[in-house]
Amino acid sequence: MSAAHESRHFDRRALLVLPGDVPLVTSADIAALLASAAQGRVAIAPSRDRGTNALALPLPAPIAFRFGVNSCAAHLAQARARGLPAHIHRSPTLALDIDTADDLCALEEMPGAPATHAVLNEWALQPCHV
């Protein structure tokens, strides 16, 4: 059973799907996404490569989850096809996900994510200084 399906047993109005590879996500991002979904809107946070780094949905979840290249456009198209209000939540802190060594290099240049930076230093990972 999916979490979206099981949520029908609880008094919940929104579901947030957030991958674990977005180290700069903030509480403000989460609050904004959930507020949109609680008001009946689908909110999609795109990644830098046009994927989806966060998806907030009113419950019951009205669209299928898609991730990977161009999934942001796919989520938006699904919402529109079902007549659901939807918007793109543009956030520099949600745009960066860690899929490649280049993403680690981009993270290295950005403030925030002190725990991630500490792990990279501890592991002596220096993908940008080879």
pLDDT per position as a tens digit, 17-64:
999 999 999 999 999 999 999 999 999 999 998 999 999 999 887 788
Residues 69 and 51 in one domain: yes
- Tell me: pLDDT of 128 over 60: yes
Residues 113 and 76 in one domain: no
Hey, what are 103's tokens?
A: 């993403």
Residues 72 and 47 in one domain: yes
pLDDT on residue 6: 45
The answer to whether 16 and 54 are in contact (CB under 8 A) is: yes
Residues 53 and 117 in one domain: no
- Tell me: pLDDT of 97 over 80: yes
Q: What is the pTM of this model?
A: 0.81
Residue-number span of the structural domain to which 108 is assigned: 100-130
Nearest to 99 by CA among 52, 62, 32, 34: 52
